Amino acid sequence: MAVRNIARWAGVAAWLALAGAPVDGIAASASASASASSSSATAAAAAPSIVVLGDSLSAEYGLDRDTGWVALMRKRLAQTELNYNVVNASISGETTEGGKTRLPAILARVHPAIVMVELGANDALRGIPLTLSTSNLAAIITASQAAGAKVVMIGMRIPPNYGPDYSEKFFHAFGQLAGQYHTAYVPFLLDGLVDDPSLFQSDQIHPTSAAQPKLLDNIWPVVRPLLKNAPPHAAS
């Protein structure tokens, strides 16, 4: 990825950190439709769950509902023999501290088989020390693993105007955490997108609906092997 494209994509950094967006929260994602049959609701309750703990890049910021990559993953799973619930616990503007704070209640409610962590960009954009961010992410990983969940770390890049040394340390921190705690790892959520401005909304930060299948394709090869042998945790 060309440096100029990283800078272009993240050129309105403060705006990303403060942007508000509808939350595809736990209740909306985990609850069965009121019109669902009792047999369908029972099947859904028995299926293992995947939790996505992320920020605006996973919370459908600026998109029509159910068009983001998390919703597309839910639909892809429904088209296969894999029976999983997908709980999108992402909030626009979320930080690692916020995710760490919210996680215990999510784990207690959902008992997920897999936790996908897409956090960290807003920490950098707000000037939060990298040591604190990595500490928060480590806490998220260990809490998820202690609850019996497999973890997927989803990495991010920040523009080089934050300093090349810091930018590289930030990028490599995700892989280092994944290696240290033996998690699955997606190096860069937006891989393959930043060279094409047409795949971003007018803010040139958040991907369009047309880009969401590519985001899922970046993640799917890492997630799919975990699903094959994931333990059947029942949601309570």
Catalytic residue (choose from 56, 58, 90, 92): 56
195 is catalytic: no
Put the strands of the sheet holding 184-186 in their side by side order. Answer: 85-88, 49-54, 114-118, 150-154, 184-186
Taking the C-alpha atoms of residue 60 and residue 52, their distance in angstroms, rounded to an integer, is 12
Residue 115 burial (CB count, 10 A): 28
206 is catalytic: yes
CA 53, 58, 64 angle in degrees (round to 5)?
A: 140
What tokens were used for 55?
């920020």
233 is catalytic: no
Catalytic residue (choose from 135, 191, 203, 209): 203
Taking the C-alpha atoms of residue 68 and residue 206, their distance in angstroms, rounded to an integer, is 11
Taking Cα atoms as reference points, which of 44, 24, 23, 25 lies closest to residue 33?
Answer: 44
Catalytic residue (choose from 29, 58, 167, 206): 206
**Residue 53 forms beta bridges with which residues?**
117
Q: Torsion-angle region of residue 100: left (phi > 0), alpha (psi -120 to 50) or beta?
A: alpha
Residue positions annotated with a catalytic role: 56, 203, 206
